[in-house]
């Protein structure tokens, strides 16, 4: 039953504008968070730019999210994370907000100020699993082994109860 309610809220609750509801405070608030590890980088030292493989992956991410109505885009203050989401943010006419990885500040902000929004976040192999846990979902990896994960976290708040679900998708570095 709960699963049906969550699916109903996900598909119908997030965008039901104009539907008059006598108990609008009981309507579910759905927040969708897309989380990726930065794309492949040129080298392991310092703050390198993206490699040609990474740039190709960015194009795929931009293509995949082209029809998603994003509200906010976050990245850490590294070239590789900013460049991973820069074209997506530009396509949606959004600025990239910088966040500090490894703290709970971003997850707290999403749960409090981000309710009802659709958000894209670029992180790192060791910070993405932590952020997922802070948002109420977990994966078995403590460090992401590759660059192809696209996590979709759905946060639903209804009648003071909070639910979180996770979909782990994979995307390639090429569009054919």
Class of domain 28-170: alpha beta
Query: What's the pLDDT tens digit per position in 113-125?
Result: 999 999 999 999 9
Q: Evaluate if residue 42 carries a pLDDT over 60.
A: yes
- At 8 the pLDDT is 37
- The DSSP output letter for 32 is E
Could you give the 3-state DSSP secondary structure of residue 26? helix
Q: Taking the model in full, what pTM does it have?
A: 0.84
Nearest CA to 108 out of 25, 169, 31, 160 is that of 31
- At 18 the pLDDT is 40
């Amino acid at each position: 039953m709960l699963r049906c309610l969550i699916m109903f809220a996900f598909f119908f609750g997030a965008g039901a504008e104009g539907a008059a509801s006598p108990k609008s405070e009981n309507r579910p608030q759905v927040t969708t968070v897309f989380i990726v590890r930065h794309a492949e980088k040129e080298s392991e030292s310092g703050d390198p730019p993206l490699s040609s493989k990474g740039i190709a992956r960015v194009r795929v991410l931009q293509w995949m999210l082209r029809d998603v109505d994003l509200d906010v885009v976050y990245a850490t203050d590294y070239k590789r994370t900013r460049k991973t989401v820069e074209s997506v943010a530009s396509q949606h006419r959004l600025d990239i907000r910088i966040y500090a990885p490894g703290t709970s500040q971003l997850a707290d902000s999403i749960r409090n100020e981000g309710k009802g929004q659709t958000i894209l976040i670029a992180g790192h192999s060791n910070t993405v699993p932590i952020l997922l846990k802070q948002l109420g979902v977990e994966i078995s990896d403590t460090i992401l082994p590759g660059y192809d994960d696209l996590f979709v976290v759905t946060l639903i708040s209804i009648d003071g109860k909070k639910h979180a679900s996770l979909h782990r998708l994979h995307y390639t570095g090429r569009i054919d």
